[in-house]
Amino acid sequence: RGLQLTYTIVYLVYFSQFHGLVTHYKIGALCMNVMEHELKRYDLWQDELQKKTRTYILHFRLWVWVNDPDNQALRKEHEKAFKKYQGLLVKQEQLLRVALYLLLNLAEDTRTELKMRNKNIVHMLVKTLDRENEELLVLVVSFLKKLSIFLENKNDMAEVDTVERLSRLVPCEHEDLLNITLRLLLNLSFDTGLRIKMVQVGLLPKLTSLLVCDENHKQMAMCILYHISVDDRFKSMFAYTDCIPQLMKMLFEHGEERIDAELISFCINLAANKKNAQLICEGNGLKMLMKRALKLKDPLLMKMIRNISQHDGPPKHLFIDYVGDLAAQITPDENEEYVIECLGTLANLTIADLDWELVLKEYNLVPYFKDRLKPGSAEDDLILEVVIMIGTVSMDDSCAAMLAKSGIIPAIIELLNAQQEDDEFVCQIVYVFYQMVFHQATREVIIKETQAPAYLIDLMHDKNAEIRKVCDNTLDIIAEYDEEWGRKTQREKFRWHNSQWLEMVESRQMEEGEPFMYGEDGEMDRPDLFYSTDGITPASGAVSPDFFSDPYAQNGDGQHGYDTDGFDLTTGTSSRPATGFGFRPDEQFYDYTSSR
């Protein structure tokens, strides 16, 4: 019943002679009951103090106007109540600290810890985070950190606004408290929802300030910031802090040593955002990064550079000075991981002024490409980057012609056969065809000498939307230059669109014993059988094959002078699909308006 007596009794069980009694007499459960009781008492004290404070403030305001003579006595009464509250609070926090210390030791046994969780230990600990006693807070946060490694406990913490309460402790002057708080936040930052809360409560600038000013806690703050940077929604926020200049400074301080994994991983994530990439390139940023990456042949640093190169605008044009340096790295003797990043960087440089033919000749890249296109010649990641690189250089007419003469197109088709189940490979290979059909030399090779159009027709109805889109646009271009393939494409689109109707007709013919199947006697060449002369879809639901030759009519966009799929059919400089799934790594594809 008395705080001091309870404190003394709980303290007694710290002695090793009493450890057997602790378990036997369920002292842990009693400690939790004591904690629950004291937290309720604390709430009552708070309510009582607030009532007296409101009464005092009300009387004080009245005294200003009517000069109440009892105001002095009321003020003394309020001060007395506040001192009493502070005295009780000190004693209670001593008791809570001792009780928590005991519970923390008992929780070393995971079975005992589970019992504590069932008795709502997490909620009690989080409620105690509102206290000001730093020694008590160190104990509370340490306990929460220990509990946070289990999913159920982490979910309990998410329910009771743990992050909001922890945010006031960052930063703080107590070194141990700040350190253990950051470690708890790191554990919680593995959860997407809790990362969102960290940003919402303003932890991003606080953690960034630790990165800049606090040497002791820099590493822990960076690990939390790295987790936050994984989410594309928050990458742009780093541009409005001092984070990027500090990271660049830390990168260049490493000298000849390998860069810490946490640091370079954080930089790679941030470089995937355009605004961040511009800040990284300011001054001699890109020059210093490139110099270091080429000297150390560091694949992770080159991955960061590759992320910078994917953004259109000023950063991309800065890479013109380094095309030769990057191309020189693409040799069979180099580390594959490093070559992948160099190839990826070059493939991102979709710049009209670049003379890719000169680059390919000077660095003898065509034989390297041809060797790597053979299935199994290297890791799939490297082969894919070679395909993407070919798609980029194929925008150049003379470059595409050189590739066609080298025999690369049959090699690409062979690779398509081998990788037909991999959407990423299929999408990028089809994009190579898309680029090559713009140029007369390569268009003739693809249409007349290969089965590429037949493959494209097969892929027209692929389950992947990005593949379908690139196929459709490639076939549209082929149809403009080759009437036979144009008719085949229209016929296939017609069959696909009317497949149910055609199946019904064929089954009816089989039931009636017809000797000929539909489509074998020239009906497909009689459009008057399938659509009305006024161009309007008839009531039967059948659609004219010519309907598919007009991309605008299909989408109701006949009034527009551009292709609705986003491909300009008059030029070969359309943007390359970044992935087989239709979005770039840094694309903002989240719905920010929805509540999470």
* Any domain includes 352: no
* Any domain includes 522: no
Instruction: Please check whether residue 415 is in contact with residue 429, taking contact to mean a CB–CB distance below 8 angstroms.
Output: yes
| Distances in whole angstroms, Cα of residue 328 to Cα of each of 111, 325, 359, 367 | 60, 5, 10, 14
Q: 254 vs 145, which has greater pLDDT? A: 145
Q: Which residue has the tokens 């600290």?
A: 97
Domain, as residue range, for 115: 3-158
Give 295-345 pLDDT, tens digit per residue: 999 999 999 999 999 999 888 999 999 999 999 999 999 999 999 999 999
The torsion region of residue 241 among left (phi > 0), alpha (psi -120 to 50) and beta comes to: beta
Interatomic CA distance for residues 289 and 521, integer angstroms: 67
Give 161-214 pLDDT, tens digit per residue: 999 999 999 999 999 999 999 999 999 999 999 999 999 999 999 999 999 888
* Any domain includes 486: no
The torsion region of residue 309 among left (phi > 0), alpha (psi -120 to 50) and beta comes to: alpha
What is the pLDDT of the chain when averaged over all its residues? 80
Interatomic CA distance for residues 19 and 112, integer angstroms: 14
Confidence (pLDDT) at 545 = 42
Burial 315-326 (b: 16+ CB within 10 A, else e): bbebbeebbeeb
Confidence (pLDDT) at 510 = 62
* Any domain includes 587: no
Q: Which residue has the tokens 């630790």?
A: 210
Tokens matching residue 568 = 């300009």
* Any domain includes 451: no
* HEC secondary structure over 455-515: HHHHHCCCCCHHHHHHHHHHHHHHHHHCHHHHHHHHHHHHHHHCHHHHHHHHHHHHHCCCC
Instruction: Flag the least confident range among 251-260, 426-435, 549-558.
Output: 549-558
What is the pLDDT confidence band of residue 563, given thresholds at 50, 70 and 90?
very low
Interatomic CA distance for residues 289 and 281, integer angstroms: 9
Instruction: Flag the least confident range among 43-52, 276-285, 353-362.
Output: 43-52
Interatomic CA distance for residues 462 and 471, integer angstroms: 9
Confidence (pLDDT) at 253 = 87
* Any domain includes 82: yes
What is the pLDDT confidence band of residue 60, given thresholds at 50, 70 and 90?
low
As a whole number, mean pLDDT of residues 1-8 equals 56
Q: Which residue has the tokens 């890791």?
A: 379
* Any domain includes 21: yes
* Any domain includes 69: yes
Burial 235-263 (b: 16+ CB within 10 A, else e): bebbbebebbebbbebbeeeeeeebeeeb
Instruction: Assess whether pLDDT exceeds 50 at residue 405.
Output: yes
Burial class (CB in 10 A: 0-12, 13-18, 19+), 63: middle
Q: 122 vs 70, which has greater pLDDT? A: 122
Domain count, the chain: 1
What is the pLDDT confidence band of residue 383, given thresholds at 50, 70 and 90?
very high
Give me the numbers of helices (H) and strands (E) for the chain, helices first please.
34, 0
